[in-house]
Structure 1
Amino acid sequence: MLKYQYHSPLGTMTMLASDKALHGLWFNGQKYFGAGFALDEIVTAQNSITKHTAAWLDQYFAKQAPDPREIPLVLETTPYRQRILNTLLTIPIGSTITYQELAQQAAPHQKIAPGAARAVGGAVAHNPILILIPCHRVIGSDGQLTGYAGGTARKLALLRLEGIVFAQKH
């Protein structure tokens, strides 16, 4: 495993990658940064995965809509959270989804229990691969902007980059 720093227009990000896949992508200083990995003990270097991810991010921030499935990902989390995060990969650029809709799409043949949106919120908040797994596209059931581990200002900036306009709350 190695880590690499990417300098995005919204702040420095840390990637965590093996030779085969991306394991993490976080804004430095965000909530849940590092997802429990001992990043201080991991060497800083580049490999084909970090180079490909950096090129993907360059395209994304240039509004070129790259496909996140181009980057091999490893999700080291619970099966439930993996299902939620994999469902997020199906939400196209320029679209949003509510927590309740995400719960329904992740388990289409199950009755959605009361409080499912809260469990989905926990999975979304702990997303270890920001932007590629677009948790910033999840909004509240009232259509309003909700929290984001990278900060709501970044979430708003990412949505605007994708052409989604939100009215500011007063």
Structure 2
Amino acid sequence: MQYTKHYSSPLGNLLLAADEQGLTGLWFEGAKYFAATLADDHEEKDTPILEAASRWLDAYFAGKRPEPFQPLHILGTDFQKTVWEILRQIPYGQTTTYQAIARQIAAQRGLDHMPSQAIGSAVGRNPISIIIPCHRVIGTNGSLTGYAGGVKKKAALLKLEQAYTDEMFIPEKEELAA
């Protein structure tokens, strides 16, 4: 059984989800893939895991560097989980690129190449936003692209972590569609 809780953040409302094993979801309301891993049979109820996630978010939005959140119960394909585990390794206040993650996975699998688009697809479907820091992945050219919650929220999260630089930019609408 999954349980949900609403959380009001400085960047908008969030929906948190958890089961008995751990946190299963954290989405900005209205985001792409919103509640994609949420079971149809769920109940709004405050649980110890959801309370812990709320405290983690309180600390995060206060500008503190909370410890990695546990427990997580990540729902996705093996490939997605591999990508999301790499995301969890990106330090607070730092960024990486889709291409760097693609190279890392290609090396792990003994491949010559891994398409960055495959990485982008997995990053975009991250069901536990912020805690699994998909906002720390940027384009090779420094663009803030590919965030399911919207690039303005991505920029705000990076600014909070002091990882946003003047060289980063939000692509024009036409570039986002490409």
Q: TM-score, normalised by structure 1?
A: 0.91
Check conservation: 1:103, 1:112, Cα contact below 8 A.
no
Q: Give the 3-state SS of the residue equivalent to 2:27 in structure 1.
A: strand
Q: For residues 146 and 112 of structure 1, do their structure 2 counterparts lie closer, same or farther at Cα, with a shift above 3 Å needed?
A: farther
Deviation at 1:107, TM superposition (A): 4.4
Deviation at 1:165, TM superposition (A): 2.5
Q: Which residue number corresponds to residue 26 of structure 1?
A: 27
After superposition, give the CA deviation of every residue in 1:11-70 in whole Å (9 maximum; x if it has no partner).
11001111330000000111000114245x4211101000000000001111110122x3
Deviation at 1:145, TM superposition (A): 1.2
Which residue type is aligned with residue 137 of structure 1? R
Is 1:158 matched with 2:157? Answer: yes
Runs of 4+ in 1 over 6 A off after TM superposition: none
Check conservation: 1:19, 1:48, Cα contact below 8 A.
no
Unaligned runs of 5+ in 2: 173-178
Percent identity over the alignment? 42
Q: Which residue number corresponds to residue 102 of structure 1?
A: 101
Q: Which residue number corresponds to residue 4 of structure 2?
A: 3
Q: Which residue number corresponds to residue 76 of structure 1?
A: 75
Please tell me the root mean square deviation across aligned C-alpha atoms, in Å. 1.6
Matches within 5 A, 1:134-145: 134-145=133-144
Check conservation: 1:12, 1:28, Cα contact below 8 A.
yes
Deviation at 1:91, TM superposition (A): 0.2
Q: Which residue number corresponds to residue 132 of structure 1?
A: 131
Q: Which residue number corresponds to residue 56 of structure 1?
A: 56
